[in-house]
Structure 1
Amino acid sequence: MEQQDTVGPVENAVGYVLKEAAVALRNAMDAVLRPLHLTVPQYACLELLGQRPGLSNADLARGAFVTRQSMNVVLHGLEGRGLVTRPATAPRGRELPAALTQAGRDHLHAASAAVRSIEKKMCAGLTPARQQALLDTLASCIRNLADNP
């Protein structure tokens, strides 16, 4: 195997550095969400419902990068706290579309501001153009992997 066929030093491996950044972001999000008594999946659920009311458990699970079973636990917890509501019976099929309550919207507002502060910190020193270039580059990486499993 040639040297160019191996990963090489991990600090120069895009995948490794990307994972390191994801872990650092997750840890920072955990820290700012903890005082709000939210986990990252709970926050993701609230954010998704704030932007797209009526999503199903499966849609929320995909959007929050968790299993359907995990999202079901998240939704039950948020319902129990009065932050989310779902109908008792499915209006169609088996889907129970979820929506934020007023308390959920209020909680989301505080959580979203906290997470936005982390994103600003993470992107400090990057111009808007460089931030857009980063988003474009990451989107390209996602497409490349989706096209070539």
Structure 2
Amino acid sequence: MSGDETVGPLGDSVGYALKRAAAALRGAMEAALRPLELTVPQYACLELLGQRPGLSNAELARGAFVTRQATNGVLRGLEERGLVTRPGTAPHGRALPAELTAAGRELLRSASTAVRAVERRMLEPLEVGRQERFREDLAACTAALGERRLEGP
């Protein structure tokens, strides 16, 4: 096996660099959301529901990158806080579509602003044109590995 067939030094590994960036982003998001008493998965569910009301548990799990079981717990916690509502019975099938309450929408505005500030801080070293290119490059890399993108509103 030649050296070109191995990952090589971690400092040269794209995967390792992405994982470090993701860990740094998550830590900064956790710190920004802590005063709002939100976790990153809770914020993700609020943001997803703010942009796409009525998502099912399975759709939220995919969009928030957590398991369905974890999403159930997240949604229960958000419901207990009066931030999300779900019907008692499924309107069709087994899915219980979730929606934000007025309190959920209000908290989402604060949380989304806090997370956007973290993203701006992360992208600050890049010129504006490079920031857009960076997003496009990440999307292309994701598509190359066959990941589906959660479609916007």
TM-score interval (norm. to shorter): over 0.9
Equivalent-residue separation in structure 1 for 2:57 and 2:124 (angstroms): 35
Q: Number of aligned residue pairs: give it.
A: 147
Q: Report Cα offsets for 1:14-71 as digits up to 9, x if no partner.
A: 0000000000000000001111100000000000000000000000000000000100
| 2:56 aligned partner | 56
Question: Matches of 1:111 and 1:131 in 2, distance apart?
Answer: 22
TM-score by length of 2: 0.94
Partner Cα separation in structure 2 for residue 108 and residue 125 of structure 1: 27
CA distance in 1, matches of 2:125, 2:17: 18
Report what 1:95 is aligned to: 95
Q: Give matches, 1:1-149, under 5 Å.
A: 1-146=1-146
What amino acid is the match of 2:53? P
1:132: how far off?
1.3
Displacement of 1:129: 1.4
**TM-score, scaled relative to structure 1:** 0.96
Identity %: 64
CA RMSD of aligned residues (A): 0.9
Structure ranking higher on relative contact order (CA contacts 8 Å, 6+ apart): 2
Shift of 1:125: 2.6
Structure 1: runs of 5+ lacking an equivalent? none
Letter in 2 for 1:112: S
